[in-house]
Amino acid sequence: MNITQLTYFKHTVDEMSVTKAARRLFVTQSAVSQQIALLSAELECRLFYRHGRSLQLTPEGEFLYQKAKNIIIQMEGLSDELKSRGKNVVGTVRIGSGPVTGKKLLPEIISGMLTKYPDVSFSLFEIHSSSLIKSIVESRIELGIGQIDEEDERIHFEKLMVGRLVLICSSQSEWSKLKSISVRALPKLNLIRRVREVEYSRLSKILQTAAGRNFQLAAMNTETIVPYVKLNMGMALAPDYIIAMMKPKGISQIRIEEEIRIPWGIMRDKFRPVSKAAQVFIDKLKQKLPF
């Protein structure tokens, strides 16, 4: 058994496809299949059930997957940990965040760290909050920054603040003078909706009764929706902290009477130690928060 076999096995499980794993690893499918076959033979157990083209882990495969993840994580961080002993801060920090956070909050933090710690590098990925947990579990990123909808036993979530959902409208709209509104009134409004996958769960059933409009925008991010709201083409729901970061002109906020809270913070793999470089970044982020 070697680290290459464990790495190929882990990526195959992450993708549940030999083809996709090979593509991600930049090797041939036969190379992946061969290493997994050797691993299975050495351990004298079956790692996958095959149902046509689909894969399913056996109980032994599931056990090995959890062990392999930890081994790979420790191997990947070993060099950086050794170099970071003492005062040195080295290594690569892989971060996932939404577009507004990536544009408005992180540039100065990352730029400052690169200047102060020349042996640190960053990889920043624009990922919607609904996909952050999956990216962390699959070790694509080390830290996820954004809202979390529900707890996950695999994830450590450090709450940095609690946002509120607000209704936004054009400052030219007759609604802009309104201070607050009830959730029950939302279906009657001309709302620019988010795609279903990222709709706020507490509102999804209520908004199903909303009337159809002559303009529909299937968007995942508030940043895409705001320009249409500004032109008074509709209203939209958005987290107040996103509006605070964007500071868009021509937009008014209306408080929702039935308060809908949105926990926002940093998430990471609960079973993976935080690198020294990542911890420095976390500390800098906490200092930078403007709200």
What integer pLDDT is reported at residue 198 of this predicted model? Answer: 47
Look at the domain 163-261 and name its fold: D-Maltodextrin-Binding Protein; domain 2 (3.40.190)
- pLDDT tens for 12-27 read 998 889 999 998 888 9
- pLDDT tens for 170-206 read 999 999 999 999 998 988 888 887 765 445 555 666 6
Which spans in the chain are helix H? 3-15, 18-25, 29-43, 59-83, 99-104, 106-116, 132-137, 201-207, 222-230, 240-246, 276-288
Distances (CA, A) of 250 to 216, 244, 291: 21, 13, 21
Which residues on neighbouring strands pair with residue 266, listed in sequence order?
A: 145, 158
What integer pLDDT is reported at residue 167 of this predicted model? Answer: 96
What integer pLDDT is reported at residue 239 of this predicted model? Answer: 93
What integer pLDDT is reported at residue 273 of this predicted model? Answer: 82
Do 82-161+263-288 and 163-261 agree at the fold level? yes
Helix 106-116 and helix 276-288, axial crossing angle in degrees, nearest 10? 130
Distances (CA, A) of 209 to 125, 160, 168, 175: 36, 34, 20, 21
CATH superfamily for 82-161+263-288 is Periplasmic binding protein-like II (3.40.190.10)
Which residues on neighbouring strands pair with residue 255, listed in sequence order?
A: 166, 180
Which CATH number describes the domain made up of 3-68?
1.10.10.10
Domain boundaries, the chain: 3-68, 82-161+263-288, 163-261
Quick check: 207 pLDDT over 70?
A: no
What integer pLDDT is reported at residue 170 of this predicted model? Answer: 97
Q: Is pTM beyond 0.75 here?
A: no
- pLDDT tens for 27-74 read 999 999 999 999 999 999 999 998 877 889 999 999 999 888 878 777
